[in-house]
């Protein structure tokens, strides 16, 4: 049995998923299974997954639902139910993991704790020029002076948050730079499966992007008494450029109502309320 499950949220863009698979082949930690949490992708994704299954570099389970709009939380719940391990790592299908990404999530895990990572935002040009070779030889992980200069501009089409790409293991330095009150980023967090089951997983009342896959989860886990632990500058990932996703205002309104509720357990989650 594998030690952890990596859940990858995808919707089309097979070229991105192929890059992720190559990065997973390159991981220093090998004892994992992959769960593809697919919110209605087409045949290209299915064929790519089948090709990688046949390569047998790692175990892959493809969990798919019909495309009826953005229903990420629903397919995430199905994916959690398909996991064969008791420790879950979540990433998005536009985020390439550092070669020690899974090693860090495995080594740093603690009971009653969520590991909270961050990501480097690769600019439009850098994202489009990313190659399989640069992933396999790990050169894509190098933070260049040009990226640092772009980061100061905070321009959406250029790289930013590049400081998140420096791999720092020294505990003294980490204590100086890490956020003492970290938060969950939906594309880079991990936890024991039993913690997610205690809050009944992701709330499927969130329809559309934003809040439901991270802020809401964190809010309910904190109500349960779960600790947040930063793996900033350790569990590194690289976000591929795309135009900024607009969050649904109705999700924000729903979340404000949820915050007035003391209950950490959502009714429309992994287990459905039949009343």
pLDDT tens figures, 98-126: 999 999 999 999 999 999 999 999 999 99
Could you tell me if residue 273 is inside a domain? no
Q: Is 235 contained in some domain?
A: yes
**267 domain-assigned:** no
Please name which of 122, 120, 123 lies closest in space to residue 167, comparing C-alpha atoms: 120
Quick: pLDDT tens for 39-93.
Answer: 999 999 999 999 999 998 999 999 999 999 999 999 999 999 999 999 999 999 9
Domain contains 252: yes
For residue 72, which of 251, 274, 258 has the smallest C-alpha distance?
251
Cα Rg of the chain (Å, integer):
18
Work out how many domains the chain is built from and give that number.
1
Which residues contact residue 53 at a Cβ distance below 8 angstroms, ignoring those fewer than 6 apart?
60
CATH value at residue 209: 3.90.550.10
Q: Is the pLDDT of residue 194 over 70?
A: yes
Residue 157 has pLDDT above 60, yes or no: yes
Domain limits for position 213: 4-258
Domain annotation covers residue 127: yes
Residue 266 forms part of a structural domain = no
Nearest to residue 234, comparing CAs of 168, 135, 138, 160?
A: 168
What pTM value is reported for the model?
A: 0.95
> Is 112 inside any structural domain?
yes
Closest CA to 187 of 101, 105, 119: 119
pLDDT tens by residue, 138-154: 999 998 878 888 887 77
Cβ–Cβ contacts within 10 Å for residue 57, how many?
16
Task: Report yes or no on 263 lying in a domain.
Answer: no
CA 247, CA 64: separation in Å to the nearest integer?
Answer: 23
Q: Count Cβ atoms within 10 A of the Cβ of residue 232 and give its class: 0-12 exposed, 13-18 middle, 19 or more buried.
A: buried
- H or E stretch including 77? helix 72-82
Angle formed at CA 132 by CA 83 and CA 37, multiple of 5 degrees: 20
């Amino acid at each position: 049995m594998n030690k952890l499950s990596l859940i990858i949220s995808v919707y089309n863009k097979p070229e991105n998923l192929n890059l992720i698979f190559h990065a997973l082949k390159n991981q220093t930690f090998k004892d994992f299974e992959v769960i593809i949490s697919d919110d209605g992708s087409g045949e290209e994704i299915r064929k790519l997954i089948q090709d990688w299954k046949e390569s047998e570099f790692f175990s892959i389970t493809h969990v798919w639902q019909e495309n009826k709009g953005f229903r990420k939380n629903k397919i995430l719940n199905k994916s959690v139910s398909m996991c064969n391990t008791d420790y879950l790592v979540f990433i998005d299908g536009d985020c390439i993991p550092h070669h020690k990404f899974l090693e860090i999530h495995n080594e740093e895990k603690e009971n009653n704790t969520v590991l909270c990572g961050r990501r480097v935002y690769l600019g439009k040009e850098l994202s489009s020029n990313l190659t399989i070779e640069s992933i396999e030889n790990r050169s894509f992980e190098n933070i260049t002076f040009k990226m640092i200069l772009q980061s100061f501009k905070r321009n959406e089409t250029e790289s930013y948050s590049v400081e998140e790409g420096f791999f720092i293991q020294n505990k003294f330095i980490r204590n100086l730079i890490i956020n003492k009150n970290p938060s969950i980023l939906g594309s880079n967090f991990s936890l024991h499966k039993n913690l997610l089951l205690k809050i009944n997983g992701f709330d499927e009342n969130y329809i559309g992007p934003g809040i439901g896959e991270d802020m809401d989860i964190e809010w309910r886990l904190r109500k349960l008494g779960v600790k947040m632990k930063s793996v900033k500058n350790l569990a590194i990932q690289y976000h591929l450029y795309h135009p900024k996703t607009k969050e649904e205002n109705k999700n924000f309104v729903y979340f404000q109502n949820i915050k007035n509720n003391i209950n950490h357990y959502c009714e429309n989650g992994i287990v459905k309320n039949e009343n």
